[in-house]
Structure 1
Amino acid sequence: MKNNLFACLLLLSFVTRPMSMDAREAPGGGKKHAQPALNLFPDPAAYDPGISLQGSLKDSLDQVVRQLFAATGMPGITAAMLIPGKGLWETDTGFIAKPAQKKVDTQTVFYWASTAKMLTATVIDQLVQEQKLQYDSKLSLWYPDLQDAKRITVRQLLEHTSGMYSFNNDPKVFAIEKYYTPDELIALSAAQPNLFAPGKYWSYSNTNYLLLALIAEKIEGKTFGQIVQERIAGPLHLSSLKVLSPGERPGNLALAHQDGQVIKEDHSVPLGAGNVVANARDMVVFLNALLTGKLLPVATVHGRLRNLYAMPDAGTWYGSGLMLYDFNEINQVNDLWIGHSGGTQTYRALIIYDTAAKTFIALAINQHVSVEAVARKLLSLVRL
């Protein structure tokens, strides 16, 4: 079994590489993926996170997690699956800090990295729905001095077609160990020339989502943490989900590991692009709510997949705060995932809806392990 698990981890190891920020062809003639059909979205009536999964499937999922610990040496994991007609499976196990033998428990939260962009895009969509903002609004309304601010739109920030340099490409913040203020990060980005004219190409940039969170703060007159709490975490009763305050390091956070040692990282940055902690249950409930119309009209969320730009890894595409994985392009399997991945050199996270299994899964691991491969292994049991 261990060999099979290693094979599974190798199968999708292509998606664990650090994300390239190179400019790629996009709107002006570049390749795009077709928008997935609306009927692939989940049926709201099929899911009940209030029901705990029981029986042989639960036992099999628990067993796979134990085997993954043995196969990968990972320190800790939070994972949850919402399965149609069967309920919720969840596990939180391993170590917050393996060298100190500090164990994960029911109060532990994990870092969700760039999956937080789904929350930011949802807030922006809600503000547009409330006519407080427009997708065509120019960045110059809030940041007139930034490069191309009179041409960059909110939609281009959402879709990573603004051309703005991603501050985390700067060697000083590539491995984030200290707190950088939003102004410091914007200054790092502004010190570099934009990569291309707005709308000409596609390039993943954390600067885009930092600016979106700051725009939301300016519109609402509240911190981004307050906005997410009032609009998403509160209404959905997601008690573990939190946008970290500047420099905040929760005592119940599963710490990043590398080569068996705890690595210092400040997960309170970057605002709007990756400063959220939670357990997997709350993150899987969030994505279910997003795709079933509890936070936005389903048509609006479906629209976030209208423009899908090719990402560096085969089979991965980026929309508006949502990613699409097309396994036809990876291993000739007729399956699509809708959601988002994220990670650092020492942390990995994934939240997706598997359109073939009609199952939601969220997981985070406090070490660099292929969460995509782990998800595929767990989802394979649902398909049996």
Structure 2
Amino acid sequence: MSSTSRPPRVVVAPDSFKGSLGAVEVCAAVEAGVRRAYPDADVTAVPMADGGEGTLDCFLSALGGQEMALTAADPLGRPVRARYALSAHGDSAVVELAAASGLPLVADADPDPLRADTAGTGELIADAVDHGAREILVCIGGSASTDGGTGLLRALGVRFLDAAGDELPPGGAALARLAAIDDEGVAKTVRETRFRVACDVTNPFVGPSGAAEVFGPQKGATPDQVRELDAALARFADVLAEHTGVRVHDLPGAGAAGGTCGGLVALLGAEPAGGAELVADTVGLPAALDGADLVLTGEGRVDGQSAGGKAVSVVAALARERGVPAVALAGSVAGPFEELHALGLTAAFSLADGPRTLDELTGSAARLLADLAEQVVRLRLG
């Protein structure tokens, strides 16, 4: 950078350091280190997430807007206070399924995997649409149900009917009796909304690798209940195909969040994609990287698995497209790194400055990140 008169442009785009610092806090620590080396640096902070916990806060930090809260139904139909993010202009929103339909919300109750549903998430989405959002990012990690997203869809006006024309009760098991779908009650505003689904699994809707078989046990389903839910989802998939012409049975990712992704794709035309990719696009990372001299990314642990769609790999790939070097700062670093380097990561460094316990590292993470960021920019931009 000594050959140019302008201050360096540095983009800081990390994920959170789980159990230690949120992505916004990581950005602040890294920026502090950058400014020790270059007080006049042009630093753009773009907190990242992978579409799971923390995505809402990244959205608010990057784009402003407001946190919205309302009382919605938890997976068992009980009231719970849940939040979502609405952009400053009110035209887009981020909804985290876990806020109203997550597994931790039913930790105090006996498992009821046959009846648990996603109605609360639908209530959050309906509120966002009522406030003017016409582009909604739905982050579907941490689901407590295997209902194919029917609770969510019901909250948006879809009716799921048995052979007698009566509405089915909540939950995935009831879908075994599904005879017809009535979506005439879906509001025009909902139909006009673009839905994108942050989905980092490739499991199909049904079968040995499907929603019930793979994720049902995590939600308390016994082997018999797993088989019951898989058969019910298969029936749902058949009726969806008849009603919409969209076949989700074998669709990669359709089984995410107990089949919620498949239901959204078929009935709302939702667009599934990797969580970190969607977050990067939503918070404007591609534009922020244009003209940058360096991007600093990172997460709690960078290793060979980071190449599988995690924030570090997405940031590195976007940086490579623009010819920007990308360096990862992490709590721990372990190879192999061939795939990450191929994606565009220049290097990765651990913030550990010597032998330390995990508690010492997490307790000192902000200071250590600042120290490491300073050294990296002095080396790379000096």
Q: TM-score, normalised to structure 2's length? A: 0.25
Larger Rg: 2
Structure with more of its chain in helix, by fraction: 2
TM-score by length of 1: 0.25
